[in-house]
Amino acid sequence: MKPGESNKALFALEYLVAVAGAAYLFAFGWTSRRHRGFIQSIARYVGFAPRDVPPELPIRSLPEVLPETFTQQIVEQSFATGNVSPLELCVLNELVREHAPAAVLELGTFDGRTTLNLAANTPPETKIWTLDLPAADVQKTRFALATGDRSYVVKDRSGARFENRPESAKIVQLHGDTATFDFSPWFGKIDFVFIDASHGYDYVLNDSRIALKLLRNGKGVIVWHDYGGWPGVTAALNHLRREPDFRDVVHIEGTTLALRIR
C-alpha cells in the first residue's frame, strides 16, 4: 500500500457515511431540535450570516445572580466603543468579588478596561491572563472574523488602560488568535473565563469549548459578552445551549452578558 492510501480509503468511507447521514438529516432529522441546530451550523459554515438572531437563553434578573448590594471598585469608568457597558462592568466586577477566582482568563483585551477592573476586584494573589489578536494578524485568522471585529483588532496596542497601573502586576498580556493559540498550559487551571474576542459564529463556538477545558475540575464561571448584540454570538450560544455542557447558560437581564456557573 502506498503512503496516504489508507487515509484515502478512510475518507471515501467517511464520505459515504456523511452522504447517507446528510440524506437522513435533511429528510427526517430536521424534526429534532438538535439536528436543526446542526443544519443551522452548516448554513453558517458556508457563509450565511443572519442579521437578527433572537436571543433564546433563559433570562435571569440581577438579584437572581448577584447580591442586592454591590461592593466594588470601579476604575477607568469612561466608556469607549468596544468596552462593556457601565452596568455590565458592575456585573463583571461583582461576579469576581463574589467568586474570588484565583485565576482569570479573558479572551479579547481591547484597551484593557475590563481586565483592569477584574484586577481591581479580585484578591491580591489572583492572576489574570488576557489574550488579544495582534493587529498585524487581522488578515491571518483561522476562522472568518465577524463584520465589525476588525475595528477593535486594529489599534496601536492592547491593554493601554492597565499600563502603568498598580493593578497591572496581576495581569499578563498574551498575543494570538484564540483559534490557534496553545491554551494547554492553562487547561484545568482557570476559575473565571470572560469571552469577548471575535464575534464570529465559529469563533464563539471555538472560544466556548476552550473555556470548558480551561476550567479547574470543570468548575467555575464563564461569562460571554454581546449576547443579543452580535448575531454570531447570539447564534452560537443559542446553538450551544442544546448541549449538556452549556444547557445552564443564562442571559443576565438588562445586559448582553451570558453566564454559566458550575
Residues forming the site for ligand SAM (CB under 6 A): 82-84, 108-110, 113-114, 131-133, 141, 145, 149, 152-153, 177-178, 196-198, 203
What DSSP letter does each residue of 94-125 carry, written as one string?
Answer: HHHHHH--SEEEEE--TTSHHHHHHHHTS-TT
Q: Which is nearer to ligand SAM, 105 or 250 (CB)?
A: 105
220 φ/ψ sector (left φ>0, alpha ψ -120 to 50, else beta): left
Q: How far is the CB of 135 from ligand SAM (least distance, A)?
A: 7
CA 210 to CA 184: how far, in whole Å?
10
Q: How far is the CB of 90 from ligand SAM (least distance, A)?
A: 13
The residue number with the shortest CB distance to ligand SAM is 108
Q: Which is nearer to ligand SAM, 114 or 238 (CB)?
A: 114
Q: Helices 113-120 and 86-99: crossing angle, nearest 10°?
A: 40
Q: Which is nearer to ligand SAM, 143 or 246 (CB)?
A: 143
CA 216 to CA 235: how far, in whole Å?
27
Backbone angles phi, psi at 83, to 5 degrees: -80, 165
Q: Which is nearer to ligand SAM, 72 or 198 (CB)?
A: 198
* Terminal-residue alpha carbon distance, the chain: 50
Backbone angles phi, psi at 49, to 5 degrees: -130, 90
- Cβ-based burial of 84 (10 A; exposed 0-12, middle 13-18, buried ≥19): buried
Q: How far is the CB of 29 from ligand SAM (least distance, A)?
A: 32
Q: How far is the CB of 237 from ligand SAM (least distance, A)?
A: 16
Q: How far is the CB of 197 from ligand SAM (least distance, A)?
A: 4
Q: Which is nearer to ligand SAM, 131 or 193 (CB)?
A: 131
